[in-house]
Amino acid sequence: MTITPQAPAAARAVPVLPTSGPVRPLGLGQVSLTGGFWGVRQSVNAAATLAHCESWMERLGWLANFDRVADGTTSPDRPGWSFSDSEVYKLLEALAWEAGRTGDQGAEAAIKRLTARVARAQDPDGYLNTCFGHAGQQPRYSDLEMGHELYNTGHLLQAAVARLRTAGEDDLVRVARRAADHVCRTFGADGLPGICGHPEIEVGLAEFGRATGEDRYVEQARLFLDRRGHGTLRDIPLGRAYFQDDVPIRRAEVWRGHAVRALYLTAAAVDVAVERGDDELLRAVQRQWERSVERRTYITGGMGSRHQDEGFGEDWELPPDRAYCETCAGVASIMVSWRLHLATGDVRYTDLIERTLYNVVAASPSPDGRAFFYANPLHQRSPGRPADPSEVSPRAEGGTRAAWFEVSCCPTNVARTLAALAGYLATTDDDGLQIHQYAPCAIRAELPDGRPVAVDVETDYPASGTVRVRVAAGASSPWTLSLRVPAWADGATVTEDGRTRPVEPGMLTVRRAFQAGDVVVLDLPMRPRLTWPDPRIDAVRGCVAVERGPEVLCAESRDLPEPGGLDALVVDAGTGPEPDGGGARVRGRIPAHTGRGWAYAPARPAPLTELAELAELAELAEEGGWFDVPLRPYHSWAHRGPTSMRVWLPVDGAPRP
């Protein structure tokens, strides 16, 4: 890998750059991860995942689809789903952030290689799609409900935004501009009144408009948004709520239908609301966020509790074993919350981002960056089969990370998020610096009046909760350093000038004329804690979860007596949990089974340890059958191989679901 000095254009590059708002995001060249939890994952992403994605798309013919269009050899037996083009574009986006971040020549060469193949497939009028509109294929825009044509284009535009902001105008940006112009001509105010069944074109157009300074792209995004929700698309067996065409977004009260669609659409709505000064639309989205986060979101931050439509369930419908929690929905939730934070400065949004980063995005990739979870359930009832790294997984679920999927949206979504992660960590306003996510990093920025804000963040968070912010350059006048204190951080303290004081969850501020070498230390309480669910979440009534810092913990069957130990486990909620390295321990025991042949009985099962299959455990157990149950971070589950797993632990003596 050859690293060249970073291009100056990349310094301020970010995925989301509103033209107004209370805070401005810092760019990939202004926040440099220097290691730690996220730095390691970003390095693995760069070194392994990007090439992994390209090689799979080559092997499966998803890249050759572009060559076939260019060569006029298309046919009805095209490999891949109609949205496989979008995976190439998401990889291009990830490569663009990576090349912009590090100047890596390998990433740069891959961008040029892929762009050349994509560009050759573009029709003279700007239309670009390998599944429709050519010999042996359906006509253009003949299946707006499920064809994903505009969805694909939206991802092309996001890739072009990454390239434009990190390297300037190039072939990829020119291809995207022609494609965007084609969309505006075809679907503009005087054109076809259609929308795409899978939102994405809206968020792509809005940011492309910001990046190019051409408002007509933002206007086209607004048109698509306002057209939706009026039964614009044909009805389908899953109903129009599946693609959010049931209610206009301004009137919707909650997220529903396919989770990734709902969230990509919402991200675009925030963009349009901000660019148009449309407070009514912004407030509508905020209300949807509040209700959906309260009632339709898992403790992990995961969204989507129905497999049938990869969708949101009803309020409080959050079954842990049937949790879908697609990795892409986690990425999309972060896209929404980051835009809402940039529009409002509210730390509730960055709190949810932290939860989702640690417990959805970090859960997906394997440590080597070459296998991924698609669905992220909170309870795996049976261990998955070891995945064959040379096979495509036909299923989104399965209990083990897979190298690639027939529908492979998640790996490239993780890749682009990790490559651009620095763009989500910190912001500035007119008076100072706000740090939202804690990772070892160097921040080098300046305020609008030219005053430098330069700090080094030293931390091994979340291994420990100590975050040291060391000022790297002095200032002649005061500025304000703001640090997010997570909602869970009851008992946090800050130390400055040798004085320690307690701080409340929210935004901690320290204001002074900082001198080089000044240190502010935030200490977040990392003792594991019990978390109880709202009783309206029927599926986990009578259960507790254990969290440690931003991480949700889980129990794995391989740490328990098998078979059946995890199935029957109950825990003592009156003591502990106790710290155990990066995890925790709780006291648990195994109640008697109700009997054989029938799973129901007239009396509550009593604790019992002399079951033959649990004899080994009985020897280990204390009086009363209690033993220690180790809990580990959910994001690392199944790292040691196939296992069953659960986040929610039934409480001994409590009514159980």
Positions that interact with Zn ion (CB under 5 A): 326, 328, 409-410
Please give the Cα distance from 304 to 324 (Å, whole number): 5
Q: Which is nearer to Zn ion, 361 or 439 (CB)?
A: 361
**Distance, CA of 41 to CA of 48 (rounded, Å):** 10
**Residue 158: both structure tokens together:** 């996001």
Nearest distance, CB of residue 409 and Zn ion, angstroms? 3
Beta-carbon contacts of 112 under 8 Å, excluding residues fewer than 6 positions away, are 171
Q: How far apart are CA 57 and CA 69, in angstroms?
A: 16
Instruction: State which residue has the least CB distance to Zn ion.
Output: 328
Q: How far is the CB of 288 from Zn ion (least distance, A)?
A: 21
SS3 percent helix, strand, coil of the chain, rounded to 5, is 35, 20, 45
**Between vectors from CA 211 to CA 209 and to CA 213, what angle results, nearest 5°?**
60
115 or 366, CB closer to Zn ion?
A: 366
Q: Are 452 and 75 in contact (CB under 8 A)?
A: no
Nearest to 59 by CA among 390, 388, 395, 374: 390
Shortest Å distance, C-beta 410 to Zn ion: 4
Which residue number, 263 or 425, has a Cβ lying nearer to Zn ion?
263
Cβ partners under 8 Å of residue 410, min gap 6: 326, 327, 328, 364, 372, 373, 374
Q: How far is the CB of 413 from Zn ion (least distance, A)?
A: 6
How many angstroms separate the CA atoms of 180 and 177, rounded?
A: 5
What is the smallest separation between the CB atom of 265 and Zn ion, expressed in angstroms? 16
For the CB of residue 618, give the shortest distance to Zn ion in the complex, in Å.
Answer: 44
CA dihedral 49, 50, 53, 57 (to 10 degrees): -160
Give the start-end residues of each E strand in 72-216. none
Least distance to Zn ion from the beta carbon of 81, Å? Answer: 12
Least separation, in Å, of the C-beta of 532 and Zn ion?
31
Pair 627, 609: CB distance under 8 Å: no
Q: Of the two residues 200 and 652, which places its CB atom closer to Zn ion in the complex?
A: 200
CB atoms inside a 10 Å sphere around CB 616: 10
172 vs 409, beta carbon nearer Zn ion: 409
The rounded distance, in Å, linking the Cα atoms of 630 and 644 is 14
Nearer to Zn ion, 411 or 583 (CB): 411
CA distance 511 to 561: 54
The residue (of 158 and 350) whose beta carbon lies closer to Zn ion is 158
Q: Report the nearest approach of Zn ion to the CB of residue 201 (Å).
A: 18
| 202 versus 326: smaller Cβ distance to Zn ion | 326
Q: Which is nearer to Zn ion, 374 or 461 (CB)?
A: 374
The distance of closest approach from Cβ of residue 386 to Zn ion in the complex, given in angstroms and rounded to an integer, is 22
Give me 520's structure tokens: 């502010």
Q: Which of 175, 238, 229 has its CA nearest to residue 202? A: 229
- Residue number, 125 or 406, with CB nearest to Zn ion: 406
Q: Look up residue 125 and give its two tokens.
A: 């009028």
Identify which of residues 238 and 473 has a Cβ nearer to Zn ion in the complex. 238
Cβ nearer to Zn ion, comparing 63 with 410: 410
Q: At its nearest, how many Å lie between Zn ion and the CB of residue 93?
A: 15
CA–CA separation, 436 vs 14, rounded Å? 15
CA-closest candidate to residue 372, choices 403, 397, 328 = 403
Report in angstroms how near the CB of residue 582 gets to Zn ion at its nearest.
27
**CA dist., res. 304 & res. 409, Å (int):** 16
Three-class DSSP labels, 161-203: HHHHHHHCCCHHHHHHHHHHHHHHHHHCCCCCCCCCCCCCHHH
